[in-house]
């Protein structure tokens, strides 16, 4: 029932991690002009799924199942981010034709399409300490997903005792 501190922490992380990462993605997009490529969007979809799953865990039983599903979605985003980071670092080849035209908001639609930059999946538009945004998503989401599952396992063991 998520009554132990580890279960409650898992539940809160399952909501906070995807909200924080999606918030960061949208801040980088709309605040700093770092438009997402196709694989960037692939990383967002599991986080979009994790948020309502985590929210369900606050009201709908069995709570542990909803948190686990949110944790798996977060982990899936991390694995996609790992694949994307590998493409950016030229460790392996990505999906052919993976590029998106970034359409800025405002102005005429024709001008927006004609002046929009092409966002490639194999080029990191920004990095911190040599780690791209996809790499950071891999690290944060994978560690968080595994951590949530570990906390749920600990919570289940405590419930059994």
The domain limits of the chain are 5-160
Looking at per-residue pLDDT, the higher value among 105 and 155 belongs to: 155
Which pLDDT score, from 0 to 100, does residue 23 have? 96
Mean pLDDT over each residue of the chain, to the nearest integer: 86
> Does this model's pTM top 0.85?
no
Which stretch of DSSP H or E encloses residue 74? helix 63-88
Which pLDDT score, from 0 to 100, does residue 13 have? 97
| Neighbouring C-beta atoms of residue 119, cutoff 10 Å | 18
Q: Is 132 helix (H, G, I), strand (E, B) or coil?
A: strand
Which pLDDT score, from 0 to 100, does residue 96 have? 63
pLDDT band at residue 4 under the 50/70/90 scheme: confident
Spatial CA neighbour of 102 closest among 28, 45, 23 = 28
Taking 60 as the threshold, does the pLDDT of residue 146 lie above it? Answer: yes
Pick the CATH number of 5-160 from 1.20.1550.10, 1.10.1060.10, 3.40.50.1820, 3.20.20.70: 1.20.1550.10
Which pLDDT score, from 0 to 100, does residue 131 have? 85
Taking 70 as the threshold, does the pLDDT of residue 105 lie above it? Answer: no
Taking 80 as the threshold, does the pLDDT of residue 110 lie above it? Answer: no
């Amino acid at each position: 029932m998520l009554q132990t501190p580890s279960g409650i922490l898992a539940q809160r992380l399952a909501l906070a991690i995807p909200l924080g990462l999606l918030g960061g993605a949208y801040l980088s997009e709309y605040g700093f002009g770092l438009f997402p490529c196709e694989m960037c969007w692939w990383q967002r979809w599991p986080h979009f799924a994790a948020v309502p799953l985590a929210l369900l865990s606050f009201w709908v039983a069995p709570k542990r199942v909803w948190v686990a599903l949110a944790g798996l979605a977060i982990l899936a985003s991390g694995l996609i981010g790992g694949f994307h980071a590998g493409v950016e670092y030229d460790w392996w080849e990505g999906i052919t034709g993976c590029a998106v035209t970034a359409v800025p908001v405002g102005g005429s639609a024709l001008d927006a399409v004609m002046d929009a930059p092409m966002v490639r999946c194999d080029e990191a538009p920004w990095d911190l300490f040599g780690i791209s945004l996809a790499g950071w998503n891999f690290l944060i989401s994978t560690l968080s997903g595994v951590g949530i599952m570990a906390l749920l396992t600990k919570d289940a063991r405590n419930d059994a005792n």
